[in-house]
Amino acid sequence: MTRRIDTHQHIVPPFYAQWLERKGLTAGGLPIPRWSAEAALEMMEALHIAAGVLSVSTPGVHLGDDAEARSMARAVNEFSAQVAAEHPGRFGFFATLTLPDVEGAIAEAAYALDNLKADGVVLLTNVRGTYLGDASMEPLMEELNRRQAVVFVHPSELPAPPVPGIPPFAADFLLDTTRAAINMAKAGWLARYPDLKIILSHAGGFVPYAAERFARLCAPSGRYEDGVLQLQRFWFDTALSSSPYALAALLAFADPGRITFGSDWPYAPQERSAHFARLFEQYGFDAKQREAIERGNALRLFPRFG
């Protein structure tokens, strides 16, 4: 059964964790977890995962200083590439970039994709209130589209105070992903950059459930059906989103050929990842859907794992 390809699995280089801790930062209210390749492989064995595409989570590397962000992005990308090289066939990685430093992001994307053989890039939904879809990011998206890149979109904290007692990761992450999806569609990115494969975390937040509500915002024509078609160009992962009610909404909205498996480990501890994996196993997919979501769709994006 060890055949799944996990497109939402995180890496936490020790020096990166120490850097965040020195600055007193968390990941959307979650403590920064300890990570090792050995622990990742143990989790993967338990959850029947053959390969994982690793990514750095929020808050990313840009904390206000371009030079510091460029240095840290290079360090975490080289660390991730080394992990992948040491465990061939088990790990890939999404390169961390430096938005809102667009020039630095383009340079790091080129280095990571060309030299480190990254499997794509990870972009946060927003950086200090500037969301994906903003016109300032167009040069980066043009370059990624030229490269036919896979873009993994991970939520960040909303540019607003959290509700006391409700940490950002619990609900704000879902709204943040939804905001970014609307903004990208509204900006025309899905039509203008057709060669990008953009994966939305956590089943797209509220996108499948509420697409009809904001569809008119997402199409120049203002037509519901055109907006829905734009939003259906996204890809979606199942990380923490494989309950029967979440999957029902996702499958009612999205093409099953654009859904990939996700664990969200280690920010989701193994027990929590396993809980959602069990729900995934219990869901009434047909055989073709299950094979596609567990493995086949990801292989189309990352054929080297075949």
CATH number of the domain to which 256 belongs: 3.20.20.140
Longest dimension (CA), the chain: 51
> What confidence score (pLDDT) does residue 50 get?
97
What stretches of 83-241 adopt beta strand conformation (E)? 91-96, 120-124, 126-127, 130-131, 150-154, 197-200, 235-237
**Number of domains the chain contains:** 1
In sequence order, which residues have a C-beta less than 8 Å from that of residue 76 and are 6 or more positions away? 11, 13, 16, 56, 61, 96
| Rounded CA separation 144/137 (Å) | 11
Query: Structural domain of residue 199, as residue ranges?
Result: 4-305
pLDDT of residue 2: 63
Residues of the chain where predicted confidence (pLDDT) is lower than 50: none
Integer Cα distance of 145 and 122 in angstroms: 14
Q: What is the pLDDT of residue 1?
A: 54
- CA-CA distance, 224 to 214, in Å (whole number)? 8
**Other Cβ atoms within 10 Å of 94 Cβ, number:** 29
Is the pTM here over 0.75, yes or no?
Answer: yes
Peptide bond into 266 cis (omega under 30): yes
